[in-house]
Amino acid sequence: MAHVLWKGLSEGTTRKLLLMSLFWHFLDIIWIFIFTFVYLFGAL
């Protein structure tokens, strides 16, 4: 985010944002798996 503030929105910074969001969604998917298999199956 600091890069976007300093350098503005260029092809490079937009790509960085894209990769960042990709990783964020990936972590979210992992959490859904943890929630389902660890907590939900554990509680039932």
DSSP 15: H
| 15 touches other proteins (CB under 8 A) | yes
21 contacts other proteins (rule: CB under 8 A): yes
Phi-psi region of 7 (alpha: psi -120 to 50; beta: other; left: phi over 0): alpha
For residue 14, state whether it binds other proteins (rule: CB under 8 A).
yes
10 binds other proteins (CB under 8 A): no
Give the DSSP letter of residue 31. Answer: H
Which residues here bind other proteins, judged by CB under 8 A? Answer: 1-5, 8-9, 11-12, 14-28, 30-35, 37-40, 42-43
